[in-house]
Amino acid sequence: MSKYIDAHCHLLDAPNVDLAISNAQEKGVAAFVCAPATPAQWDAIVDLTHKYPFVFGTLGVHPWNVCELPQKYITVLEDLLIKNPKLMVGEIGLDKNRPDIPHQVHVFNEQLKIAHKYSRGVHLHCVGCWDIVMRVLSENKNTLPPFILAHGFSGNKNDIARLATEFNMYFTYGPRNLCHQHGATRILATPQSRILVESDGADSTVIPSLVSQMSEILNMETDILSDIIYENTKQIL
Ligand SMILES: [Zn+2]
């Protein structure tokens, strides 16, 4: 059976996290990278990564939550990252459908700097703000995180090569990407060494069928693609 890694999921949103994990394991999902929906889930993310060695985690303030920043959130974030050296930073970024882009940029920037300071990869959420994200990343070009995972990548396919080389970016594709009219074009434009797969939810059992859909788009054997994606994801755990 092929092995899979869900590169960006929200296991804590499952009604029963242990069951969600074992259901996914039965489908061959061997590891998970779990992101918090809100800072209220940070401690639970840490606990989950301690409970299961194959669950990796991210901590960060999502652009949807920047208007309700917890007090001293940067100090709390730094403290948790120091105590948990494998945790990444995320998901952080910008979303055009949410208010106050300048404040979103400020919080994104603060967390990018933390990711660089502790040498952690970043899970990036970007909806409709790729021009600003590229500007912010370029301004941080001497203090970039070691890699960036563009979760549910929805940017311009013509920017992919540049994003991969300048910012060491990886690109995850999930259910929303695969039903989007430009999803296939983006997947085809992504270097094979940079493709990852995500559920972006609490149900990682969808991963094998997502890889199978991607293999049809790429006209590849599903087993070969699942091995490639597995190895790509291991690079950034
Ligand atoms: Zn997410």
In CATH, what number is assigned to the domain containing residue 59? 3.20.20.140
User: What pLDDT was estimated at residue 99?
Assistant: 87
- Residue matched to tokens 């029963």: 16
Instruction: State the pLDDT at residue 43.
Output: 96
- E strands, 99-211, are 122-127, 148-150, 169-173, 195-197
User: What do you get for the CA distance between the two ends of the chain, in Å?
Assistant: 22
pLDDT at 181 over 80: no
Q: CB neighbours (10 Å) of residue 233?
A: 25
CA of 62 to the centre of ligand 1 (A): 9
Taking the centre of ligand 1 as the mean of its atom positions, its distance from the CA of residue 189, in whole angstroms, is 22
172 pLDDT higher than 90: yes
* Average pLDDT estimate for 141-156: 95
Q: What share of the chain is helix, strand, coil (3-state, %, to 5)?
A: 50, 20, 30
Q: How far is the CA of 215 from the centre of ligand 1 (A)?
A: 23
| Lowest-confidence segment of 34-38, 173-177, 185-189 by average pLDDT | 173-177
pLDDT tops 90 at residue 177:
no
Hey, how many other C-beta atoms are within 10 angstroms of the C-beta on 10?
A: 22
**What residues make up the domain containing 24?**
4-234
Task: Count the domains in the chain.
Answer: 1
CB 207 within 8 A of CB 197: yes
Mean pLDDT of 144-170: 96
> What is the rounded distance in angstroms from the CA atom of residue 41 to the CA atom of residue 67?
17
Task: Using the predicted structure, report yes or no on whether residue 14 has a pLDDT greater than 80.
Answer: yes
Identify the pLDDT of residue 130. 95
- Distance of CA 200 from the midpoint of ligand 1 (Å): 5
The predicted structure's pLDDT at residue 1? 81
Sequence letter at residue 155: G
Q: Do the Cβ atoms of 172 and 198 come closer than 8 Å? A: yes
For position 38, what pLDDT does the model report? 92
- For residues 39 and 65, the answer to whether their CB atoms sit within 8 Å is yes
Question: Ligand 1 mean position to 2 CA, how many Å?
Answer: 24
Least confident of 42-51, 66-75, 163-172, 197-206: 66-75
How far, in Å, from the CA of 63 to the mean position of ligand 1? 11
Q: For residue 138, is pLDDT > 90?
A: yes
For range 137-166, the mean pLDDT: 95
Quote the percentage of the chain above a pLDDT of 90: 92
The predicted model gives 157-169 an average pLDDT of 96
Q: What is the mean pLDDT of residues 129-149?
A: 95
Q: How confident is the model at residue 214 (pLDDT cuts 50, 70, 90)?
A: very high
Residue 125 alpha carbon to ligand 1 centre in Å: 7
Mean pLDDT on 68-87: 93
Residue whose token pair is 């920017």: 159
40 residue type, one letter:
A
Q: What is residue 135's predicted lDDT score, i.e. its pLDDT?
A: 96
